[in-house]
Amino acid sequence: MKIIKGGVTAAKGFEAASTAAGIKYKDRTDMALIYSKKPCKTAGTFTANVVKAAPVKWDRNVVESGVKSQAVIVNSGIANACTGEEGYGYCKETAEAAAKALGIDAEGVLVGSTGVIGMQMPIEKLKNGIVKLAEGKSKDIESGTLAAKAIMTTDTYEKEIAVTIEVGDRTVTIGGMAKGSGMIHPNMCTMLSFITTDAAISKKALQAALSEDVNDTYNMISVDGDTSTNDTVLLLANGMAKNEKIKYDTEDYKKFAEALHVVNEYLAKKIAGDGEGATALFEVQVMGASTKEQAKIIAKSIVCSNLTKTAIAGHDANWGRILCAMGYSGAEFDPEKVDLFFESKAGKIQICENGTAVAYSEEKATEILSQPEVKAVADIKEGSEKATAWGCDLTHGYIDINADYRS
Amino acid sequence: MKIIKGGVTAAKGFEAASTAAGIKYKDRTDMALIYSKKPCKTAGTFTANVVKAAPVKWDRNVVESGVKSQAVIVNSGIANACTGEEGYGYCKETAEAAAKALGIDAEGVLVGSTGVIGMQMPIEKLKNGIVKLAEGKSKDIESGTLAAKAIMTTDTYEKEIAVTIEVGDRTVTIGGMAKGSGMIHPNMCTMLSFITTDAAISKKALQAALSEDVNDTYNMISVDGDTSTNDTVLLLANGMAKNEKIKYDTEDYKKFAEALHVVNEYLAKKIAGDGEGATALFEVQVMGASTKEQAKIIAKSIVCSNLTKTAIAGHDANWGRILCAMGYSGAEFDPEKVDLFFESKAGKIQICENGTAVAYSEEKATEILSQPEVKAVADIKEGSEKATAWGCDLTHGYIDINADYRS
């Protein structure tokens, strides 16, 4: 497996475009198109929130119907959530406008929205944007990057990655882009993530690879504990690499799934590290667990604790908060067996042994916690399972952004 | 039922004291004593956190053993959590020192601690403090208030209340004090709350009244979602009102339970409203639920949402975040039936009907949300059950306090 330059346009046959449709933001792009020359088998995972945005309902119908998709229209600024039948109607109008502009079937158009909840779409602006997107689409690497920028809300940088694997004598490419920032505590998958691949692969294998992996990637990140109404991951495969078709549970499937995992984990970590107001990516590894589930529950509880996240913001090795968060996670373990470590580029330090403090240098701990990527490792010494979760620190920036997000 | 002046010294036979032992803070009191002239039947509820502080373990043993208690020694500054056997040993030493100073049995001394986790107690300072507490104890109302001040950490004001009820021809008094502020998301009960009563009551009735009520009071508040290692509610009854003994499930029991509820709800709301950095008490009522449990789950999810709490800080009627938090609560309901209202001293306004926005004045909504006590009411129109939860807004103050709490 090789990491290469680019994102959603890296795989053969995929094009992208972006435009400033003036939906809510001024002076920036706010719409993106992903287009495939050939129709794509499509896998998707969606929010577990009972309140589902209109595009989530639309895309789930497309994915479950089994029709091939050929385009994704994404907008930022307005989430099209809590908008009732009117909002769902706008998804249909969006798909129809895109179908007309691109000369494809409307039933194969996926839509994605992110932004304010409860506001209706300015559909005419959207339609004008779609015409521009269709005109401007390109297979350039650059156009993928610009699309990744257009879907951002409070994100501070675009998130994209592409990798290649060899399947038989063919090179298969997987590329993806994602946006996150706030209301990030995915349950099924995160805010918006779009993955494209030219792999020839069965629909079953495609969906399985995605569904299995989201539990270890997007579902293991949290910015603020708020599971969004719009969480969507879409994976489009157009088969243009012309490899022998990848089937479920084969060696090639494993290779594909591993490469997809690299893409998903990369994007998930970028979302966590670029959480609203974040100054640090906070990685938590729980090891020595009896089951993976136990390790996951504890790791997520730590990464979601406001007190722990605020301590990370202050570069303060306040380890008691971590033990506290482990304790209320809902998982059973023996607190008097827990070893705790902090780690970053500046070094590694043991903070706690068998549940109580060891002598450590606060100065050194603060130095370790002052890096842009910091890690806590908790060993509960029960077994050999482990899990990792990713989050960020909780800062004044988060308050600034969210105390008046709508205006 | 009548609300009267005072707190833990309001009931007959109870005395209190406070002192500055220099445990961690400078220039303020940090130890308190509650003393009863006669041994007390004692009820308690404790944190559900797997990581339990030493005083929680000590007090649970006392309550479960059924011995009568006669004193509570509380300190602020250090929580005596994650301190292993050494920490538990300090509870024993504290009880023995208090027993000696007060001339009572050590097995009837309860202890409570709040503050930093993971630090060992300066036991000599504690012992010196206990001597001063024993010398200074008094039945004055003022001494109860000073005790309520001494147990504060980041609380900005003391929390106390007292009520009286008539049982037969006798007046029974219930008084209490509590502290909260951070790491407040009680599961069984909140940080530290001490209730005293002169009621003559059976041990079974005493524990039942407390256990039943914490689920509707302390367990319905949240400051930051972090369930503490030290959550403790203790209820001491010395029988000195000389009323006919209150037995479980009688008319007198109901009267006692109602009065206890007023005390608990008052203290719980004060803890929520005085959350770290809070500028507003945020009350959430969910009505029209099929079951009380469903209403509770949804109400707690809203009150715990960082995004909703930050919107309250910004006086922003960002109702989509409330619907979102309802949706990920884990409770089933139909989002397209939800009506939502904001309410405060400045008025009441409907924001959303059947899951989508109604035309409302943003200006009026902001005016309503700018009060020190604001309320959101969600009607899910399924049945007639309801529940209320209490929290606070999430502000820069929370970050300031917690980014470097230990120093």
pLDDT at B36 over 90: yes
Average confidence (pLDDT) over A101-122: 93
- Judge contact between B371 and B285, C-beta under 8 A: no
Kindly report the CATH class assigned to A281-403.
alpha beta
- Whether B250 has its CB under 8 Å from any CB of chain A: the answer is no
Of the partner residues B82, B329, B332, the one whose CB lies closest to the CB of residue A356: B82
What gap in Å lies between CA A82 and CA A328, rounded to an integer?
A: 32
**Taking all residues of chain A, what is their mean pLDDT, rounded to a whole number?**
91
| More reliable by pLDDT, B50 or A202 | A202
Residue A356 marked as a ligand binder: no
- Chain A residue with CA closest to B302: the answer is A226
Q: What gap in Å lies between CA A224 and CA B236, rounded to an integer?
A: 40
Does the beta carbon of B224 lie under 8 angstroms from any beta carbon of chain A? yes
Least confident piece of the model among A320-324, A343-347, A400-404, B136-140: A400-404
* pLDDT above 90: residue B352: yes
> Which chain A positions have a beta carbon within 8 Å of B406's beta carbon?
316, 318
CB contact under 8 A, B229 and A324: yes
CA A55 from centroid of its chain's CA atoms: 17
- Chain B stretch 263-292, residues whose beta carbon is closer than 8 A to a beta carbon of chain A: none
* Residue A256 forms contact with B (CB below 8 Å): no
The closest alpha carbon to B201, from B163, B237, B169, B254, belongs to B237
Read off the tokens for B125.
Answer: 């300072």
Task: Please report, rounded to a whole number, the percentage of residues in chain A having pLDDT higher than 70.
Answer: 97
Name the 3-class secondary structure at A200: coil
Question: For residues A253 and B270, what is the distance between their CA atoms, to the nearest angstrom?
Answer: 57
Instruction: Count CB-CB contacts under 10 A for residue A122.
Output: 18
CB atoms B398 and A356 under 8 Å = no
CB contact under 8 A, A320 and B117: yes
- Six token digits for residue B132: 């001063």
Nearest CB to A318: which of B324, B395, B405? B405
Where do the domains of chain B lie? 2-273, 281-403
Annotated binding-site residue? B153: yes
**Could you tell me the two tokens for B297?**
């789950």
CA distance linking residue A30 with residue A21, whole number of Å:
6
Catalytic residue, chosen from B114, B164, B190, B395, is B190
Under 8 Å CB-to-CB from B45, ≥6 apart: which residues?
B188, B189, B210, B211, B214, B232, B233
> Which of A332-336, B131-135, B314-318 is predicted most confidently?
B131-135
Cβ contact, residue pair B226, A83, below 8 Å: no
Interface test with A, best of B24, B47, B50 (most A CBs within 10 A): B50
The two beta strands, B159-167 and B170-179, are: antiparallel
* B211-249 residues labelled b (16+ CB within 10 A) or e (exposed): bebbebbbbbbbbbbbbbbbbbbbbbbbbbbebeebeee
pLDDT (tens digit per residue) in A14-69: 999 999 999 988 899 999 999 999 999 999 888 878 888 899 999 999 999 989 99
The answer to whether the complex's ipTM is over 0.85 is: no
A275 min Cα distance to partner chain B (Å):
13
Q: How far is residue A210's CA from residue A213's CA, in Å, rounded to a whole number? A: 5
Residues of A in contact with B229 (CB under 8 A): 320, 323-324, 327
For the domain spanning B2-273, the CATH number is 3.60.70.12
Q: Would an 8 Å CB–CB cutoff place A367 in contact with chain B?
A: no
Put simply, whether B118 touches A (Cβ < 8 Å) is: yes
pLDDT bucket at B186, cuts 50 / 70 / 90? low
| CA nearest to B183, candidates A310, A402, A345 | A310
Residue A116: alpha-carbon gap to chain centroid: 18
pLDDT at A189: 46
The predicted structure's pLDDT at residue A183: 67
A402 is in an annotated binding site: yes
B190 catalytic residue (yes or no)? yes
Distance CA A74, CA A42 (A): 16
Burial of A367 (C-beta count, 10 Å sphere; 0-12/13-18/19+) = middle
* Rounded mean pLDDT, A94-100: 97
Q: Is A407 annotated as a binding residue?
A: yes
Q: Per-residue pLDDT for B366 more than 90? A: yes
Query: How far is A210 from B29, CA to CA, in rounded Å?
Result: 58
Q: Could you tell me if A357 lies within 8 Å of chain B, comparing CB atoms?
A: yes
pLDDT value, residue A73: 97
- Closest CB to B51: pick one of A118, A305, A327: A327
pLDDT band at A181; cut points 50, 70, 90: confident
Cβ contact, residue pair B183, A321, below 8 Å:
yes
Query: How far A260 CA sits from the closest chain B CA (Å)?
Result: 27
Q: What is the pLDDT of residues A122-153, one digit of tens each?
A: 999 999 999 999 999 999 999 999 999 999 98
Between CA B403 and CA A78 the distance in angstroms is 33
Q: Tell me the β-bridge partners of A3.
A: A163
Name the E strands within B79-169: 109-116, 159-167
CA distances from A318 to A71, A279, A306, B181, B407 (A): 48, 18, 12, 17, 10
Interface touch B307/A229, C-beta < 8 Å: no
A338-368 pLDDT, tens digit each: 999 999 999 999 999 999 989 999 999 999 9
8 Å CB contact of B83 and A324: no
Closest chain B C-alpha to A82 CA, distance in angstroms: 5
Q: What is the pLDDT of residue B184?
A: 67
* Total CB pairs under 8 A between chain A and B: 220
A19 is in an annotated binding site: no
Residue in A182, A225, A314 closest to B404 by CB: A314
What whole-number percentage of chain B has pLDDT above 90?
68
Residue A186: predicted pLDDT:
60
CB count within 10 Å of CB A264 equals 27
pLDDT category of residue A154 using cuts at 50, 70 and 90: confident
Q: What is the pLDDT of residues B51-97, one digit of tens each?
A: 888 999 999 999 999 899 999 999 999 999 888 899 999 999 999 99
Q: Taking CB atoms and an 8 Å cutoff, what residues of chain A touch B363?
A: none
